[in-house]
Structures are given as structure tokens and as C-alpha cells.
Chain A
């Protein structure tokens, strides 16, 4: 990802865009913040927020036309927030003699002709920037058309107080100066304007009829250095904003910098911020009369109606986005910085490796920002540059190696046939979760397709892609394609939504069909139960955008007599169980939190069609079924008997069992002999088994350590318990096993591991 791509992607995430109220306000008052502060009883903070954007609060809080209220999102379903009344309240609480900070005076003078709202605003801004500011007004007092307001709306006293405050700031007023009689001359040498023997770098002429063409962006006339505006505006707040534009331009004119650069964010505009109103109830304004200053309680209650507009659509279903307390725009920058670091800690490695790359955020994003591919590519870069933490995905990759080893991998045409038209591909984790269901599906397919269905057991390779291991992914892909070719290029009947997605994305040459559509087309007589059986359906992330499969699964559930309830985010917007992206391997606490949040969305047992989703729910105590669990054991629909959840070691054992059983049943073949150490018998209590699961230590790891110890005799002995302690490093990890011989095997008391290498003497 280069800088250009980063900025392009960042622009897709609109979370930092202004809320509709601020965008509508020509002065860009941060009403969202101001209302939150008011709601939280921080009147001083709210006042500070208001004053930050508004030059003359006592005047504008009384006469602003409040475009914010019209554009307030609440106005779409009820009343918009009466922000101006809140401002009126804040002004009533303020110290009206408060003088804003000003830069020290520089020896640069600007002049204003007229003293309407535009002039007062521009003069205020320029005095704060340190300019000597003089106002020439034909009338005997300042304010121009502001004095046309009734006393109830804008009392003269408010105008007079504001003017005296401006005078205290150092702005000089010259009253009773008929503008027509003011002789403005321009010096030919310096280009300065001379008014009454005083010299000015630029002038602002309010309501000058001779000014035909005022540039709407810069407020400069055709005369270089002459600025202006209209005194009788359609909207007062626009007039104040015109004054502010002019002040910015006059400052730039004097500094001799571009008058037009970076001005697109001035004035009111339509925001790009998306805010869903789906869960917002309509509410009505608590302000009865907006000309009367509300009391504090009313003001606070009205402020509390603000929904604090924000997008955060992607956070609604994603624990990852919530966990790091920001949003993709921030994460993109962090990812970019993390991979750009030359020396020092890469503090975002764990964040990068904790994403499920499931694509939910892209699906729900108003601009469909594809964040998952940024993460995938970043992980690839980390692997290529040898900056990928080895522990992040090691366990998952070892699981993939297991699936593609002789312990599970298999490619067979039906007995007696060299090739086949169809081949069943259950994926790796369905056989690991429910081996008997896989065997039953194969039986069923044999029946349906006249025994022309072969069997292909292995991993689709997605684990390697998720880990950023492109080389390993390509190797797995090539091996799978070789096997399919060997089987005569049959159509794959795929039992795993994740594999389906992988094939669609990375194996365009394969013919694939989902198991769900096949099962749904079978002649199944619909079942009815005495009571309505309701399950909440959870779509796996692999089924995103697969309407046909999503429909087939719901139809099948209906035929099984199941009534399904939908989760808040379902189908294309579904949440991942965190098996995706190997996130569970890199960040287990985040994975648990994600599953817990997802499990809490519906009180019914969950029905899903991905083995890992089911097992992740079961692991966190949420009863869940894979559709095949109920398809082959419909009694569970009624008795709600939970499925057994295999641990990591059992997941290996189950896979080998599927291979062994089916080889024997359909091909009358025995499985190749396993490794000698696998014959070592282990006795392990339930408690220790849980510890092994927690520490991701497999039975085969323990068997290898004991096997090695039996050979070398290297072990420690605990003089108190008599337990032995042996260690070995079969791969990249060193395992320590505390054990005692028992019967024809070994009882295991504890096990732990580390990745650091110890340089031992022997």
C-alpha cells in the first residue's frame, strides 16, 4: 500500500465527516459536541465550543436562521434539535465582557465601510489576527440593518454591548461618516488605499451598489484589494459567514498567498457522513418559544435528544473494530505506519492479525470500503519481509498441514472407476467436527448420483491465505487442482461455505456446487413437530453474497420443521465467528469476546452451516447446531441435546477417522500406518485436557516428547511427587510434559511450551 492508495482508501471511510448540523452551518459550529457537553452539564465547555466558531454570540444566538435544525437528521422522523435556543441559553450563562484572545497588533491596517453583521464579523476576525482595524459608518451607531429587528428579538442594548466589546478588543469605530463623501484614493506606487489621510492595505465596502461582481468564494471585487458584501442579506448567518470569508481573503491578500487554495470546506455543504436512523425513535422539541431563553433543565433535555450522529456501521457487528476503539480510517493509517517502520516496535502487529478478513465491514459500509484485502495484503507483506510474528498463525498453519497430510488427505474416484463426474469435498473442519455426518452425506450422494461420486479430502488452502503465506497457499491450490485433474475434472460438491468462497475467489477453473442446494433439491418430506421449534440462524461469513445457499439452508430448515429467526446482521451482512482470518489463533481474548457478543444477539439456540461457527459457539457456552447435525439427527430438534464439541486433538482424530472409515467402506482399503509415536497411549484427566486445549498442545505433541525421551532417557524427576518432566522440540515449539508411566501408557499431569530456543550443552 503506497501513500496514494492509503489516501484513496481513507476517503472511503466517512466517519470523520462533519455531522449534518455542522455541515449546514455556514460557520461550522460543532453542535454535536456542544450538545453533548450541555447534556453532560458542562456549560462552560459548551460555551467554549460555541464561541470557537461564532464571532458575535449575543447577536447570532438571537437571529441565526438555524439551518442546522432543518438539516438535523432527527427532522426526518420528528423535530430537529433547536440548536439556536441552546445557544441562546449558553449566551445567557456567559460573561458578556469576555474578550477573545488576540495576536499583538502588527503595523498593517484594514478599513471597513459600513458596520453591518458582515463587517462586524470580518473586523472581529481580522483584529484577532493582529490587524489594525478601522470601521467607517455613515450612521451615528453601528449595526446597520441589525437595528431593524424588534426589541424582543434583538434589543439595541445587545448590539451596543457587542460594539463596545469590539472597541475593547481594539477595533476603532468612526461614526457619522457619509460613505459617499469619503474620498478613497489609491496610491499608484504602493497600491494602498487612502481614507482620511490614513493608509490601508485593503478595504471592505459593505452594500456598495457599484460593486457588481463579488467573487462568492473570496468576496473580492474586480478591484484588487477591495472586498465587499451585501448589507441586507437573505440569511443573517450567511452574512456573518460572508464576513468571515472576506476576513480570510483579506488576510491572504495581505500575506500575498493564494486567495483560492483549500477553501472548499467553507460555508454550508452536504455532509458525506452516513448515520442510520433505523433504531432511532422520533422525538419532539421541548422548546415552546424559540425567542425565549430556555431554562437550564429544558436546555439540557433538548440537548439530550441529540443522537450524536456518527457512522460506525462497521462496528455494529464487528468486535475487532469495537475492540481497538476506532474505525477503518484510523486503522488504515495504523496499518500503513506499522509496515513502514524501519526500527522499533511494530505495535500494530497483533491488531493486523486479529481481523477476521470476513468482509462484513465492506458489506455494511455505505461506501463499501474493502478493508479485508488491506489486511490480507499487509499480512503477505509481513511474511515476505519476515516481519510476521511466527506465533500468530503457526497453530492454524499446522492444522492445515495436517489436513493436507496422509492423515487426512485423499482423492478417490468410486471403486473400479478411473475418473468421476462428481466429487464430494467436505472441507477440513466439518470432518473434524462431525465425522459421522460427513460419512452420511457421502452415503447419500452415492445414492443420489448413482455411485458416480468420488471423495476429495483436504484443505482448500484458505488458512495459508489468511496467514499471509502466499507461497503455501499456491502450493495447496496447485495440489488440489492436481488431485481434481487426476479425478477427471469432476464437479465439486462442497460442504463448507468457507471453501465455496475460496473456490469462487481463487479457483476460477473449478466446477463447484454447494451441498445445500443439492440437499434442498432432494425429495424430503417436510416434518412437523408438536411444538414450534425456533432457532436463530447464523450465516457463516463464507456464505456472504451467496443468496442461493442462504435460501437453500432456510428452505431445508423449514423442511426439518424448524422455524428460523433472523439475527440483526444476517445473510450478506453476517458477522464472523473469528475462525475467519485465523483471528482466533492470533488473539484469543478478542475471539472469545466476539463470539460472546454474537451469541448474545438471540436467546434461541443457533443454527448454522459452518462447522467452526458451531464449535466456536459451543466453546463459549451457546448451544448451536450445524444444519447436518439436525438433518441426520432430527431428534435433537426436539430434545435440544447439545452436540459434543471436539477439542483440537479430537479434531485431528476425527479427520483421520473419516478417511479410515470411508476408505474401508467404499474401497476396502486400510489406511497407511501412522507414525510409531501415535501408538503411545495417554491417560489424561478432563482438567488436564482443558489445559492442553487452552495452551494449544496436541496429544501428538505429547506423544512425540515421550517417544523422544524413551529414546534418550533425558528427563527430570520431582523428588516430592515422583513425576517426570521431559521436553523436546519436534518443530518450532518446545514442549514440556509432566508425566508418570501408567499401565501400558502414560498419565499426563501438565504440559507447557515456549518458542524460545535453549542452547543446551548436550
Chain B
């Protein structure tokens, strides 16, 4: 399972709704005809996912582009 987020990238973020810390957990992400599990920070209580900016604009974009050319 891929892990793209380090602890220090989300340790200062909390779920505002639940006032709860985040923890790395398996989340399924999908695009076009592919889906795969990734370890992402989520709220321990409600499961709300946190995608850090650096992940979105680098690795996720790269994977999106690769999948688009398949």
C-alpha cells in the first residue's frame, strides 16, 4: 500500500468538526478506471480525509496524468 504523507505533514491539523486528531488510515482513491488504496490522514472519529497541498499538486497530479494516458 502506498504511503505518500509523512506524520509532520498533518500533525498540526485536527478535524474541526470532531475536535479530533488525525491518523494515517487506508483510504481508497480512484480515477477513471483505476482505484487503489493509499494511507492518508483521516479524522479518528468521523473519517474525514485530509489531503495536504504538496500531495495534491505533485504526486496526485502525476498519477492523474499517467492514468489519463492509459
Docked pose: A734 CA to B47 CA in angstroms: 17
Report Cα–Cα, A392/B35, bound state, in Å. Answer: 21
B69 touches A719 (CB 8 A): no
Instruction: For chain B, residues 41 to 70, give those with C-beta under 8 angstroms from any C-beta of chain A.
Output: 42, 46-51, 53, 56-57, 60-61, 63-66, 68-70
Which of A390, A716, A725, A734 gathers the greatest number of chain B CB atoms within 10 Å? A716
Given contacts A750-B53, A757-B29, contact A714 B48 (CB under 8 A): yes
Give every chain B residue within 8 A of A759 (Cβ-Cβ). Answer: 27-30, 35
CB of A711 within 8 Å of the partner chain: no
The main secondary structure of chain B at its interface with chain A is mixed
Q: Say which size band chain B's interface belongs to.
A: 20 to 34
Q: How far is the CA of A760 from the CA of B26 in the complex (A)?
A: 10
Asked if A216 is at the interface (CB within 8 A of a chain B CB), the reply is: no
- Residues on B with C-beta less than 8 A from A349 are 68-69
Q: When the two chains form their complex, are residues B69 and A753 in contact, meaning their CB atoms are under 8 A apart?
A: no
Q: In this assembly, does B24 line the interface, its C-beta being within 8 Å of a C-beta of chain A?
A: no
Of the candidates B13, B42, B66, the one whose C-beta lies within 8 Å of that of A725 is B13
Contact between B13 and A760, CB atoms less than 8 A apart: no
Q: Which of B15, B68, B69 contacts A716 (CB 8 A)?
A: B15
Is B47's CB under 8 angstroms from A760's CB? yes
A288 within 8 A of B: no
Which of A719, A727, A756 has the most CB atoms of chain B within a 10 A radius of its CB? A756
Judging by beta carbons under 8 Å apart, are B64 and A758 in contact?
Answer: no
Contact of B70 among A345, A734, A752 (CB under 8 A): A345
Which residue of chain B has its CB nearest to the CB of A757?
B30
- Chain A positions 727 through 761: 1 when the CB is less than 8 Å from some CB of chain B, otherwise 0: 10000001010000000000000101111111111
Please pick, from A390, A734, A752, the residue contacting B57 in the complex, using a CB distance under 8 A.
A752
Contact: A391 with B64, CB < 8 Å?
Answer: yes
Docked complex Cα distance between A762 and B49 (Å): 10
Known: A755-B64, A756-B60, A761-B42. A390 touches B47 (CB 8 A): no
Q: Given the known A-B contacts A349-B69, A391-B64, are A715 and B16 also in contact in the complex, defined by CB atoms under 8 Å?
A: yes
Shortest Cβ distance from B14 into chain A, in angstroms?
5
Shortest Cβ distance from residue A716 to the other chain B in the assembled complex, whole angstroms: 5
Within 8 A of B (CB), among A417-471: none
- Complex interface: chain A residues within 8 A of B22 (CB): 716
Instruction: Give the chain B neighbours of A758 by CB distance below 8 A.
Output: 27-29, 40, 49, 51
Contact status A753-B56, CB under 8 Å: yes
Which residues of chain B are within 8 angstroms of A762 by Cβ–Cβ distance? 46-48
Among A346, A389, A727, A758, which residue has the most Cβ atoms of chain B within 10 A?
A758
Given contacts A389-B69, A717-B13, A718-B12, 19 further A-B contacts (CB under 8 A): A344-B70, A345-B69, A345-B70, A346-B70, A349-B68, A349-B69, A389-B68, A714-B17, A715-B16, A716-B13, A716-B48, A718-B13, A734-B51, A736-B53, A757-B31, A758-B49, A760-B47, A760-B49, A761-B46
Nearest first, the 9 A-B pairs at minimum CB distance are: A761-B47, A389-B68, A717-B16, A759-B28, A754-B56, A756-B31, A754-B60, A715-B16, A752-B56
